[in-house]
Chains A and B, each alone.
Chain A
Amino acid sequence: MRRTMVASVLVAAVAATAGACGGDKSTGETAGGAKEIEVLYRVEPAWPHMEKTLKQAKTQFEAAHKGVTIKLTPVQGTNEVYYTKLALLNRSADSAPDVYLHDTFQVNADVAAGKLAPLDDYLNTWPDWSTQYADSVKQAAKGPDGKIYGVPISTDTRGLWYNKDILTKAGISVPWEPKTWADVLTAARAVKQKVPGVIPFNMYSTKVLGEAATMQGFEMLLYGTPGGTLYDDTQKKWVASSKGITDSLGFVDTIYREGLGPKQADAFDAKLGEKVGLDWFPGGKLAIGLDGAWMSASWTPTSTKPWPQWTEKIGWTPMPTQNGEAPGAVSMSGGWVMAMSSYAKDKKDAFDFISTATNKENTLTYSVSTGDLTPRKDVASDPRYTAANPSVKFWTDLASVTHYRPAYEVYPKVSAEVQKAMEAMVTGSKTPDAAAKEYADALPGVVGGPDKVTTGS
């Protein structure tokens, strides 16, 4: 009895270890002497779009480049999971992918670590770069040294999506055009009062939702307050405290204290984004959502759960500034680029793949299915781009009021502090003032010293 038990324990242990050690990988030259380029990207059941685009690009590339194979390596999971996986693979030249999809807010950190290859020499030989990309778009992946480290495949803006039927039922006239934060709260309160069983307002506000909470949530408020910012560009210091920060937290507090937001359990659900897109909006369970331009991707014919009626049921409007201060609306922008690893052995072919993946046809496929805004001029003017999605023009025009995150190396840690403060608003464990003070106290430790912070207006 004892011996068999010991044996079975051993077998289990060995099996577990063997499982953990799986995943052998090779890059560069394959056995036959043929070249291989590894491409890393993200995929989720509700987000197969990048995979579709890259498969299309792989076929085109391999037809034009005999002897070079593209190895597509997907990472299953959320953005947060993808960042982690990429950072780990990038630790060593042997495991780093040659080409990867990269969030622009991570570019600076990787440039500082020398993980990315500058693309300027290749871009100069690629006619599309000068003709199809606006100068503002080219900045997306510009390093501190002025070199370009990625070709943009998408950009985005943020604002309010709303369910027309629910707002009408609540007595709010449609099209809804809120001019101040108070207008937004008034509409949410009306929904709570007159349309029971519906969640009046959703904004991402917990740590588990990561950057979505900071960017779609907090920053959409902060950058709409007078002088509100996380980073003072002129002083080159982080803003530890300001009226804008306290007021923004106050808005989140109001949402949750008055029961205008989702239930706590949902607010803390890592899959909240999927719920909003696939369930709450199509199911008429949510009135207003502060979200990204890509929201409609959940409803397009290429989605896992198409909802063709959305164009009639759903409306969109800019997020207003706090008291309607000029320019009257606020938006935040980020985006993704195709970047090349500094470890890539065959940089010429790797760049050829990047330029194939971001050519007009592939960018169009990607933009139409994701609802992301396109960085390319020829795609933007293509009738298929706007025809597929009536909201695209609106989101593209928001670029005139948009802001960019201070995506420096320490930004992810600052973002984590913001999420902590927001979470205290969701649970009600602190007042906005107390949470703002805690943020101010924590900031010097995260950004590298008290001389790197300042007090805002």
Chain B
Amino acid sequence: MTVTTVTPPSRPAGSPVLAEEPRRRGGALRRLLPLLPALVLLVIFMAGPILWSLYISFTNETLTGSASVDSRFVGLENFVKLFGDDAFRNSFLLTFVFVIGSAVIGQNTLGLFIALLQRGRGRVVRSVVNGVVIAAWVVPEVVAAACWYSFLSEEGTLNEVLAFLGLSQDWLFTAPMLAVTLANVWRGTAFSMLVYSAALSDVPGDLLEAAAVDGASGWRRFTGVTLPLIRRSILSNLMLITLQTLASFGLIYAMTGGGPGTASQTTPLYMYDQAFRYFEIGYGSAMALVMLVIGALFSLVYLRLIKVET
């Protein structure tokens, strides 16, 4: 929807131009007024905490002890400490692996794949597949984590099955990153699938038919016709799931707690540890700020890619 003020096509010469202004301003005000309560709430509950955490990331604020009532401004100290912190670098790397593995590769391609397979299938097949995939998305994060925990645990379903092959092991201990990545793919694929089903339904069938008549193979039609047409959806989808996965906390926390050791401690978990376990809320907020910047960078790249015309 676009909002433009229509100027009369012809204006008698010499009439005051400024007379238009108050009315326009009044109109803007009238439109803003109904939004006001929502805006106020947003400012209080969104902007407020963000600004507060922005501020305390430059202080030595803690949750307990004397610094919790008497914190002082420490400038960039938290950030200097952050970049020299091995545990943070480790967590950062793991976050990157997690985002690329579970979101950009896992959820994204699997979602697209399922959506493609569903094209032109019968109503029954579609509803069954949709139902199953979306069910994983609908269950609360902690429930999903508990399911995966019991599936992968030492006496879990997977090991019972693998026992025949002699491959059983404690997966959450031997391959924690793989475990949480798989769980996140399982849970998040539905979102990408829905986005892609919608995008694919907008790809005109006659275009594909024409390509087929010209002798293009299935793969060629996919890369040459379908992909360029849904390019914007791909990028918006990537942006959304990247941001979501970047901040993912509950799933990993409930499955491995970041362990064993720090083997699956992504930055949100490390942040939680510092802020709420060792009560260094200032340091934790500095980390949050860095994450915010990285999220913003990702979005900028995706947004630029959307704008680039082929």
Chain A residues engaging chain B, CB cutoff 8 angstroms: 1-2, 5, 80, 83-84, 87-88, 90-91, 106, 109-110, 112-115, 206-208, 210, 263-265, 268, 270, 409, 412-413, 416, 423, 427
The yes or no answer to B295 lying at the interface (CB within 8 A) is no
Find out whether the CB atom of A268 lies under 8 angstroms from the CB atom of B278.
Answer: no
Find out whether the CB atom of A109 lies under 8 angstroms from the CB atom of B261.
Answer: no
Closest 9 pairs between A and B when the two form their complex, measured CB to CB: A265-B173, A268-B260, A265-B170, A109-B65, A112-B66, A87-B63, A409-B65, A109-B64, A84-B276
Interface string of B42-70 (1 = CB under 8 A from A): 00000000000000000000011110110
**Once bound together, how far apart are the Cα atoms of A208 and B272, in whole Å?**
13
The yes or no answer to B223 lying at the interface (CB within 8 A) is no
One of A1, A80, A91, A206 near B277 (C-beta < 8 A): A80
The yes or no answer to B197 lying at the interface (CB within 8 A) is yes
* Residues of chain A within 8 A of B198, CB atoms compared: 1-2, 5
Find out whether the CB atom of B261 lies under 8 angstroms from the CB atom of A412.
Answer: no
One of A113, A265, A270 near B257 (C-beta < 8 A): A270
* Residues of chain B within 8 A of A106, CB atoms compared: 64
Find out whether the CB atom of A88 lies under 8 angstroms from the CB atom of B257.
Answer: no
Q: Which of B64, B154, B197, B260 has the most CB of A within 10 A?
A: B64
A265-B154 CB under 8 A given contacts A5-B198, A91-B63, A409-B66: yes
**Once bound together, how far apart are the Cα atoms of A5 and B65, in whole Å?**
48
Interface size counted on chain B using CB atoms at 8 A: 23
**Once bound together, how far apart are the Cα atoms of A413 and B64, in whole Å?**
12
Find out whether the CB atom of B66 lies under 8 angstroms from the CB atom of A207.
Answer: no
The yes or no answer to B279 lying at the interface (CB within 8 A) is yes
The yes or no answer to B201 lying at the interface (CB within 8 A) is yes
Measured CB to CB, the nearest residue on chain A to B70 is: A113
The yes or no answer to B243 lying at the interface (CB within 8 A) is no
Measured CB to CB, the nearest residue on chain B to A17 is: B45
Measured CB to CB, the nearest residue on chain B to A112 is: B66
Find out whether the CB atom of B276 lies under 8 angstroms from the CB atom of A207.
Answer: no
The yes or no answer to B259 lying at the interface (CB within 8 A) is yes
* Residues of chain A within 8 A of B66, CB atoms compared: 109, 112-113, 409
Measured CB to CB, the nearest residue on chain B to A19 is: B140
**Once bound together, how far apart are the Cα atoms of A423 and B262, in whole Å?**
10
Could you pull out 15 A-B pairs where Cβ atoms are within 8 angstroms? A2-B198, A84-B276, A87-B279, A90-B64, A91-B68, A106-B64, A109-B66, A110-B64, A113-B64, A114-B69, A115-B64, A207-B261, A264-B173, A270-B257, A427-B260
One of B64, B68, B197, B278 near A1 (C-beta < 8 A): B197
A113-B201 CB under 8 A given contacts A207-B261, A270-B257, A413-B278: no
Interface string of B238-276 (1 = CB under 8 A from A): 000000000000000000010111000000000000001
Find out whether the CB atom of A268 lies under 8 angstroms from the CB atom of B261.
Answer: yes
Chain B residues engaging chain A, CB cutoff 8 angstroms: 63-66, 68-69, 154, 170, 172-173, 194-195, 197-198, 201, 257, 259-261, 276-279
* Residues of chain B within 8 A of A423, CB atoms compared: 261
**Once bound together, how far apart are the Cα atoms of A1 and B115, in whole Å?**
14
**Once bound together, how far apart are the Cα atoms of A265 and B153, in whole Å?**
10
* Residues of chain A within 8 A of B279, CB atoms compared: 87, 412
One of A80, A112, A206, A207 near B65 (C-beta < 8 A): A112
Given contacts A109-B65, A113-B65, 11 further A-B contacts (CB under 8 A): A83-B277, A90-B64, A109-B64, A109-B66, A113-B69, A114-B69, A206-B261, A207-B259, A268-B261, A409-B65, A427-B260
**Once bound together, how far apart are the Cα atoms of A264 and B263, in whole Å?**
13
One of B64, B68, B194, B259 near A208 (C-beta < 8 A): B259
Q: How far is the CB of B56 from chain A (nearest CB, A)?
A: 12
* Residues of chain A within 8 A of B260, CB atoms compared: 206, 264-265, 268, 427
**Once bound together, how far apart are the Cα atoms of A263 and B154, in whole Å?**
12
**Once bound together, how far apart are the Cα atoms of A222 and B68, in whole Å?**
31
* Residues of chain A within 8 A of B257, CB atoms compared: 208, 270
Measured CB to CB, the nearest residue on chain B to A21 is: B45
**Once bound together, how far apart are the Cα atoms of A175 and B143, in whole Å?**
47
Q: Which of A5, A87, A90, A264 has the most CB of B within 10 A?
A: A87
Q: How far is the CB of B271 from chain A (nearest CB, A)?
A: 13
Q: How far is the CB of B64 from chain A (nearest CB, A)?
A: 4
**Once bound together, how far apart are the Cα atoms of A84 and B201, in whole Å?**
49
A88-B276 CB under 8 A given contacts A1-B201, A265-B154, A268-B259: yes
Find out whether the CB atom of B261 lies under 8 angstroms from the CB atom of A427.
Answer: yes
* Residues of chain B within 8 A of A110, CB atoms compared: 64-65
One of B64, B173, B261 near A87 (C-beta < 8 A): B64
Measured CB to CB, the nearest residue on chain A to B194 is: A5
